[in-house]
Amino acid sequence: MSTMNVEQARWNMIEHQIRPWEVLDQDVLDLLYAVKREDFVPAAYRMLAFSDLEIPIGQGEHMWPPKLEARVMQELSLKATDQVLEVGTGSGYFTALLARLAQHVYSVEIQPELKALAESNLRRAGVANVTLELGDAALGWTKHAPYDVIVLTGSTPALPQQLLQQLKPGGRLFAVVGEPPVMAARLVTCTGEGSYSSIDFLETSIAPLTNALAGERFSF
Angle of helix 66-76 relative to helix 93-101, nearest 10 degrees, comes to: 30
pLDDT per position as a tens digit, 144-158: 999 999 999 999 999
Please check whether residue 76 is in contact with residue 151, taking contact to mean a CB–CB distance below 8 angstroms. Answer: yes
* Average pLDDT along the chain, 220 residues, taken 10 residues at a time: 87 97 96 97 95 95 97 98 98 98 98 98 98 97 98 96 96 96 96 96 93 60
Cβ neighbours of residue 69 under 8 Å, at least 6 residues apart? 63, 93, 94, 97
- Give the pLDDT score at 211: 87
| β-sheet bridge partners, residue 219 | none
Q: What one-character-per-residue DSSP string does 75-100 give?
A: HHT--TT-EEEEE--TTSHHHHHHHH
Q: In one letter, which amino acid is 185?
A: A
Q: pLDDT value at position 120?
A: 98
Q: What is the DSSP letter of 52?
A: S
Residue 217 is predicted with a pLDDT of 46
Q: How many whole angstroms separate alpha carbon 72 and alpha carbon 28?
A: 10
- Give me the CATH code for the 3-218 domain, please: 3.40.50.150
What pLDDT sits at residue 219? 38
Express each pLDDT in 1-38 by its tens digit.
688 799 999 999 999 999 999 999 999 999 999 999 99
Q: Where are the domains of the chain?
A: 3-218
Comparing C-alpha atoms, which of 171, 212, 204, 179 is closest to residue 71?
204
